[in-house]
Every structure is written in structure tokens, then in C-alpha cells.
Amino acid sequence: MSNEVLISVNNLSKKFSKDLKRSLWYGLTDISKEVVGISEKSKDNLRKTEFWAVKDVSFELKRGECLGLIGRNGAGKTTLLKMLNGLVKPDQGDITMRGRVGALISLGTGFDPILTGRENIYVNASILGIKKVEIDKKVDEIIEFAELGDFIEAPVRSYSSGMVSRLGFSIAVHMKPDVLILDEVLAVGDAGFKMKSLNKMYEIMNETAVIFVNHNMATLSRVCNKILYLKDGQPQFFGDNVLKGLEMYLSQFDDEQGFIDYNGKGQFNELVISSNIDRGFDIKGRPILNHGDDLIIDFDYNLEPSCGLHELSIVISNKDFLTLAFHKTGPIQNTASGQNKARIRIPKLELTNGEYSITFKMVSITENDELPENYATYRHWKKFKVEGLNTFNSVPFMVSGELEVLS
Amino acid sequence: MSKKAESGLKVTVYTPKSSLSNPIIMAKALLSDVYSSRELAWRLAVRDISAQYRQAALGIVWAFVLPLVNTFTWVFLSQSGVVTLTETAIPYPVYVFVGTMLWQILVDSINAPLAETTAAKTMLSKLNFPREALIVSGIYKTLFNALIKVVLVITAIAFFAIYPSFSLLLLPIGLISLILVGTAIGLLITPIGVLYTDIGKAIPLFMQFLMYITPVVFAMPSGGLAEIVFKANPFSYLILTIRGWITNTPVEFLDGFILVNILFFIMLLFVLLIYRLAMPILIERMSS
């Protein structure tokens, strides 16, 4: 049953024109070429204002596999999905799809706003080529899964975007597709529905090949067992080392400089990250630490002498800019000159392998619930790398525990 | 292109090649898609018709209000002597009324393919379904509106005490040929019309002009340049013949009518192929 290749893509390419007027004109000429039956050669060359939206993509996907498709906005993800679903014709290469394809390309799925949810289920299903008797059997299940309740008899235009995508997702997964294409569908659902959808995906995954576009790295690492990373239409990574693929994708944001937000009273002169054991630096000059080392941060900063008590704090984020940990020093007395030096030591770092960034903050001390004054915030200003503990799982921390064997 | 694999799964292959490079497979796929899109087309038509009437206070009035206004205008113009028209074999109001009703059916079916395709843009850019369903659904809708018009036309001729003969039974053939010709023309301009909105804007203007060189509100002119123009116009044969059947007047140009239908049927097959080939290229250029 599994091991059966459902999608196979060979050197697939597609070009688009950036200029609307030209794109329309090329459309017209392409149609006439199609009708005459000549086209092959000219497809390899880019015409004026054209670019490759997808270039030389090849992969195979079997039943039971879930491919996470990642890339920045405009990297060619949706174009690739549209070709897989037969909406758009490739310019080079070929695609072979086996079995029934269920696809949710972008949000909403061509629902008619005036018709009720129930009527739309029937329209949608017949679009997918499913007979009425078959839908009759499933319609209650679809409605129940989408959690629409009485809204199912209301026109779809009164639905929220979350409700629309819930209904779309529910229809798609209940049609027992062999291939399921999900383009950012879970992005607008609420937490409860996301959970439920992921569970449903696990459930149908054994019988389905899934292609999944999502920008949430945690979700991708949980669901997918293969990653295809596109950059400017070109595949940068394809394979079943999911973490490596995600790392590669995230590392393109490395050069994204952090930004400074300060009110002129405080300023960090120097911020140095090190550890109790010197492990050197990586190629980008970022300090390397091992899991379990002490993380040491040296501050050299100025603060206007009129500001007396203040405190320092740090926030550690991962590559996905997800906030992981926070530490604050408590009150520090300003020096008379306003020049200060301080060191924060975080013993036995529990972070797992990966790259992290630190946001540094200098704020006033306040009483009660007053908001502190922000002297300086240097967001994602310094980065460091942790090595030596591979969890093969995208978890940020490895906590220590004590085992007691009870008989 | 799809075929059954050994495992029983449908295999679909997408390549850059023009499907015309294998015309037999393409024609087969086209026919099977037209056939398998029946249920979907029906559903889309029901969807559109019910949606249309759910949001319109006047309901089905919109199906015939245009030809009705047109009739009143021309009856007024001729009665008041603003324009002088050639005598018609049947009372002028009936002549205009039946003529404009038939004309409207033709215009509806010319408009349908482009209107349906444009309206389905979001669906087309997100879902893969037999696109021929849009055309068939457009035909269903035109047919629905045409039936309302037919009821009105029959009421009108009864009111004017014109006794229909057995030739009225030929009316379904008339309707089919109007829709056949209209759909063929509509489909021909659809690929260009989806790309360039100018086409959609130009159709009403062009149809207005065409109406005046077709015996819709005027009788067929005899002699002069007018007669040549009217006779060169294929629509003349449709309107004259079908109106003749409805109003029980002698049909003069039956051979012309048959020839026009054959020519447009061949054209319809050809433009169906073009539509199918053009669709992926058009969808590429539709925003989702």
C-alpha cells in the first residue's frame, strides 16, 4: 500500500512575466501557439520581463509521506502547487499524479458567498468530481468536523475567514483524497481547530500523500517527514532530514540585522557573549556554546547620571524569532559618571542545538504596576550557536530530571 | 490526459506539450469532460439561478424586461410616426416583441461563456474541475431565462389572436440553434475577453449595432445596399425563420437557416478545443 509513489515531479519549471500588459500579450501569443500546436522551443527562453517562478524542481512523494513546502513569500510555493493541481501548465519538465487530488490552494475554496454552507458543500464536492450519493453520506460528518453548528444554513458570506477555512479543510479531508495539497489553510484557524486539523492530518496521512505549506516551523517539524525548500523558485533543499531543511530556510534570515530602540538616556557600548569554556566561533563569527555550558554576557553601557536605579534584562529567541527565555537582573545603582559594566551568568544552559539571538534591554525600576521607562532595547542584537546535543526533534530545551526506579 | 493505472488509480500527467500534439486523446478527454461535467454544470446553474433571485427584488422580471422595454420603444416610435417602417405581415407589436425576445436569447448566449468564465475566476484559480462545466452551466441558465421568455411570447401571440400552427412545435429547434450560434460566438471571444476587458465592454455596443442590421425591429428590406447587408448577416436567417415558426407566417429562408446552423456547429467544436487549450494559460493570469 505505501511505497506507492503518488506524485513524481521531474525538472519542473514555470515562468511568469512581471509586467501585466506583456503578460497578457504573451498569454495571447501562447494561446495561438497552443492552437497551432507549436510551442516547445520558445518555452526554454525567457522573454522580456519574464522570470522563472519555479525552476528545475524534482521530487517524489509516496503514500504516507508528508512534504513540508517552505520558502519566503513569492518563492514559488503556490505556483508549484497550482501546477501539481493541474491549474497551471508547466513550461518545462513533467508531473505525474496518481489518484484523487484534494487541494486547498490559498484560503477559501471557491465558495459562493450567497449560498449556504450546506449548499456549498455539494457544489464543492461536485467540483471535486464526487457523486451526490457519496456526499449525502458524508455531509453530516463534514459539518460536524467544521464545527459550524447552525451557521451551516447561513450564507457563506456571513462566515468569518476562520469558519470558511474550517469548512474548506473539512470538505477536503473527508473526500478521501489520495493526494492532499494544503496551502496555508491552518493559518487562520483558532488554536483548537489547528489542533484538531493536525490530528485529522495524522489520521489520514497513512492513506494519503500530503503536501503542506506552513510558516510555523514547530508545526512543520511535527507533521512533515520531508522538506522541500524553495528560494526564488529554485530548490535549495529536498530530503527527509526535516530539521536540516528548516535550519537552511531559517538561516537566510541570519543577516537580518536586529534593531535598536532607545530614548537617548541609555546606550549599550559593548555586548559580548561567551561561555565558561572557550569553544571558538562559527564561520559567521558567532560564539559557540555547548549544551550545559554557562552562558556569560558582558555589558558595557552608558546611562544618563540623572537616571538612578535601573535594571538589565535579556530575552533569548530561536531562529524563528520565537521567544524562549527571559532573565532580569533586578535593581542596579547607576554610577556617578554614568558608565557601567556588568556581567550576567546563566549557569548550565539547557538550550538544545541551534542558533539563538539575544535581545538586550535597559529599563527604569518602577513601583507597583507602573510601566517602566525604556532606556534602550537592542532587539536580536547578538547571536550565538549551541552544539553538542542533538534531540532530533524541534524542542528548544532539554531539561534535567532525576530517575527513580520504583518496583 | 489521464488513464487508469494497474493499481486502479487515475494517473494524470502534466507536460508543457500542447495537448493538440495528440488530437485523438484530446478530443476524447474533451468529450468525456463535457459529459462528466453534467452534474457539476447543473449544480452551478441551480446555484447561480437561486443566488440571482435571492438577491433581486424583482426576480424573474429581469429575464424579459429588456426586450419588453425595447418593444415599447419601437411600438411608440412607429405609432407616433417618428420613424416610418415597412409593413409587416403580422401586427407590428408582435413582430417587434417576438423579434427582440429571440434576439435577447441570442445575446444572452453570446454573453454567457465570457461572463461565466470571468465570474468563476476565483474558483478557476483554486480548483481543478472540468472547465466545460462553466459553458454547460451558462447554457442551462440561458435556457432557463429563454423558457420564461417563451411563455411570455406565447401569451403575447395568443393575446393578439394569432393562431399558432404545428410549426410552433419547431420552437425547441429554434431555441437550440440560437444557443448553438450564440455559444459558438461567445466561446470564440472568451479567451481574448478574459485577458482584455475591452472585449466585454465592446460586446453590448456591437450587439446593438448588429440588431439594426438584422430583421429584429425592421422587416427584411428589399433592394439596395440594405438587402445585401441583411442577407449577408447570418443572424437574419435565425430570427426570420424562428419568428416565422412562432407566428405562423411562411418561412422564406429555411436553406439559409440550415446552412448557418451547420457552419456554427463546426465552429462550436473548433472553439471548444481552443477554450480548452487556452484555459491553463488564462488561469495563470487570473489573480486568486
Q: At what angle are helices B92-119 and B234-247 packed, to 10 degrees?
A: 120
> Which of chain B's residues have a Cβ under 8 Å away from the Cβ of A115?
47, 50-51
- Contact partners, residue A381, CB within 8 Å, separation at least 6: A258, A260, A268, A271, A357, A358, A359, A360
pLDDT in tens, A180-222: 988 877 767 788 888 888 888 888 888 899 998 988 888 888 8
Do A27 and B195 make contact, defined as CB atoms within 8 angstroms? yes
Q: Which residue of A has its CA nearest to B282?
A: A27
Distances (CA, A) of A39 to A17, A356, B175: 17, 50, 39
Here the ipTM equals 0.78
CA dihedral B222, B226, B231, B233 (to 10 degrees): -150
Distance of alpha carbon A278 from the chain centroid = 34
SS3 call for A405: coil
Q: Which residue of B has its CA nearest to A183?
A: B126
CB A70 within 8 A of CB A221: no
Domain extent listing, chain B = 31-284
Alpha helices per DSSP H over A191-282: 191-205, 217-223, 242-251
Report the residue of B47, B126, B132, B192 to disrupt the A interface, i.e. the one with the largest count of A CBs within 10 Å.
Answer: B126
- The Cα–Cα gap between A146 and A62 comes to 28
pLDDT of residue A42: 61
Question: What residue type is assigned to position B177 of the chain?
Answer: S
Alpha helices per DSSP H over chain B: 23-36, 38-54, 65-79, 92-119, 121-126, 132-159, 171-195, 198-212, 224-232, 234-247, 254-284
Lowest mean pLDDT among A36-45, A347-356, B80-89: A36-45
Nearest CB to A115: which of B13, B51, B288?
B51
Least Cα distance to A396 among A328, A344, A322 occurs for A322
Least Cα distance to B257 among B269, B265, B249, B268 occurs for B265
pLDDT of residue B175: 93
- The Cα–Cα gap between A102 and A86 comes to 12
pLDDT band at A43 (very low <50, low <70, confident <90, very high): low
Domains and CATH numbers, chain A: 5-251 (3.40.50.300), 260-387 (2.70.50.60)
pLDDT averaged over consecutive 10-residue blocks of chain B (288 residues)? 56 80 80 81 84 75 81 85 77 87 93 92 83 91 90 84 79 93 94 89 91 86 83 90 86 89 93 89 79
pLDDT of residue A89: 87
> Which of chain B's residues have a Cβ under 8 Å away from the Cβ of A213?
none
pLDDT in tens, A103-160: 887 655 678 777 788 888 887 777 777 778 888 888 999 999 988 888 999 988 898 8
> Which of chain B's residues have a Cβ under 8 Å away from the Cβ of A91?
16
Question: What residue type is assigned to position A336 of the chain?
Answer: A
Nearest CB to B282: which of A27, A82, A124?
A27
Do A115 and B127 make contact, defined as CB atoms within 8 angstroms? no
pLDDT in tens, A62-95: 998 999 999 988 888 989 998 998 888 898 899 9
Least Cα distance to A233 among A379, A65, A54 occurs for A54
Least Cα distance to B124 among A105, A12, A302 occurs for A105
- The Cα–Cα gap between A225 and A393 comes to 12
- The Cα–Cα gap between B214 and B220 comes to 8
CB A187 within 8 A of CB A214: yes
Q: In Å, how far is B12's CA from the nearest CA of chain A?
A: 5
- Asked if B169 has any chain A CB less than 8 Å from its own CB, the reply is no
In the block, which residue shows the cell 490552494? A105
Burial class for A366, CB neighbours closer than 10 Å (0-12, 13-18, 19+): exposed
SS3 call for B10: strand
The widest CA-to-CA distance across chain A, in whole angstroms, is 85
In the block, which residue shows the cell 475591452? B198
pLDDT band at A252 (very low <50, low <70, confident <90, very high): confident
Question: Residue B181 is inside which H or E element, if any?
Answer: helix B171-195
